[in-house]
Amino acid sequence: MKRISILGSTGSIGTQALDVINDCENYEVVALTANNNIDLLEKQIKKFNPKIVGVGNEEKARLLRERLDNNKVDIISGIEGLISAATINCADIVLNSVVGMVGLVPTLEAIKSKKTIALANKETLVAGGEIVTRLAKEKQVQIIPVDSEHSAIFQCLTSGKKEEIFKLILTASGGPFRGKNSKDLENVSLEDALAHPNWVMGKKISVDSATLMNKGLEVIEAKWLFDIDIEKIDVLVHPESIIHSMVEYIDGSVIGQLAIHDMRIPIQYALSYPKRKFNFLNRLDLAEIGKLTFEKPDNKTFPCLTLAIQSSTIGGTMPAVLNAANEMVVNMFLQKRIMFKDIPKLIENVMNSHNVLYDPTLEDILQSDMWSRKQVQKLVELK
């Protein structure tokens, strides 16, 4: 029996993780957290009986306590709720599927409590990679990736030793605007950006896929997760999203992981690791698919990929600044306050005015994050 705490249980990854858990007898849910959606959270509590529940604010916590009346669950609001769920004594695994920078501190706290981390929160490694991986090493805690690309690499890495790796090849679908040029992107709408060809995902990550920032963030995550130089990580556009990523070894052998695009596969692997478990999901039918295609990423039309890699090469607090600026501009795009084409321009502008702090502390990272958000606000108000 594995006992699991899920941070962000009402989001896309959280709900699919509960699907996986529901279909398997070997898991017990001990904690759940959600920011906003207490209707769904209430249903999840009734079904899975967690001991601790975290919600976004005290108002929602009170509402939920009223609704659950006699239930023995402990409901805690705000960051404290997230931290309580991340550090709950009885959990073996903490699945962090929170969206945004708010996921960083709970990951650090879960590592301090020696929980195995199933990581779906990108910001943990993008903004805090240096301190998170250092702490995980010190506490001998394993971070198991949930994202399909990193799960693929994690699986491919069982084929060789670290010193035998030639490069990592992260695949990218190319998003809804693949094949378009900068001119085509001038007037694209929010609805166009949200229409991902292969995956059904949350709104933030859908926009990040349309700008290719998502792939940039994934390159940074891969660097920290697998402790590999960023120059040894390639991005390959593969529109069918069947090969989820690959590892090329020094002898020229390339090992890839293939599967249908269903996030329940990498989620299940993260939870069942080091074992594999049978499931009833659809099977990959390559004859039906017929052919797989590949192309280079178009860095000119999608500058966010280059910006992300640059931020990581610069290092220190720069990736946190990139990440925060991106979170802000994506939110503004979702609110239709800025255009799609403004996204990379605003991020680059903020990066150019940042004074990098090297070997950052958690405090430095959080402050750079705040600074970056304020910069975006200023720039957009000036427009």
Question: Shortest Cβ distance from residue 41 to Mg ion (Å)?
Answer: 25
Question: Shortest Cβ distance from residue 209 to Mg ion (Å)?
Answer: 8
Q: Is 367 exposed, middle or buried (0-12, 13-18, 19+ CB in 10 A)?
A: middle
Question: Shortest Cβ distance from residue 69 to Mg ion (Å)?
Answer: 40
Q: Of 109 and 149, which CB lies nearer to Mg ion in the complex structure? A: 149
DSSP 295: B
Among 33-41, 97-105, 148-156, 345-353, which window interacts with Mg ion (CB under 5 A)? 148-156
Nearest-10 Cα torsion for 128, 190, 344, 217: 30
Question: Shortest Cβ distance from residue 355 to Mg ion (Å)?
Answer: 31
Helix (H) or strand (E) holding 327: helix 318-334
Question: Shortest Cβ distance from residue 148 to Mg ion (Å)?
Answer: 5
Q: Of 294 and 358, which CB lies nearer to Mg ion in the complex structure? A: 294
Q: Of 147 and 369, which CB lies nearer to Mg ion in the complex structure? A: 147
Among 75-83, 145-153, 240-248, 294-302, which window interacts with Mg ion (CB under 5 A)? 145-153
50 three-state secondary structure: coil
Q: Of 20 and 222, which CB lies nearer to Mg ion in the complex structure? A: 222
* Residue among 276, 363, 284, 374 at smallest CA distance from 325: 374
109 sits near Mg ion (criterion: CB under 5 A) = no
147 sits near Mg ion (criterion: CB under 5 A) = yes
Tracing tokens 């910069």 back to the chain, one arrives at 375
298 sits near Mg ion (criterion: CB under 5 A) = no
144 and 152 Cβ atoms separated by less than 8 Å: no
Q: Of 31 and 120, which CB lies nearer to Mg ion in the complex structure? A: 120
Question: Shortest Cβ distance from residue 218 to Mg ion (Å)?
Answer: 6
- What is the distance between the alpha carbons of residues 165 and 231, in angstroms, rounded to a whole number? 13
**Interface characters, 257-296, with Mg ion (x: CB under 5 A):** ----------------------------------------
334 and 207 Cβ atoms separated by less than 8 Å: yes
221 sits near Mg ion (criterion: CB under 5 A) = no
Residues 6+ apart with CB under 8 A from 166: 232, 248, 249, 250, 252
Question: Shortest Cβ distance from residue 276 to Mg ion (Å)?
Answer: 21
Distances (CA, A) of 38 to 44, 162, 269, 367: 9, 44, 28, 30
302 and 212 Cβ atoms separated by less than 8 Å: yes
- What is the distance between the alpha carbons of residues 179 and 217, in angstroms, rounded to a whole number? 21
208 sits near Mg ion (criterion: CB under 5 A) = no
Q: Of 64 and 263, which CB lies nearer to Mg ion in the complex structure? A: 263
Question: Shortest Cβ distance from residue 196 to Mg ion (Å)?
Answer: 11
- What is the distance between the alpha carbons of residues 284 and 348, in angstroms, rounded to a whole number? 40
Q: Of 123 and 147, which CB lies nearer to Mg ion in the complex structure? A: 147
Q: Of 130 and 208, which CB lies nearer to Mg ion in the complex structure? A: 208
Site for Mg ion, rule CB under 5 A: 147, 149
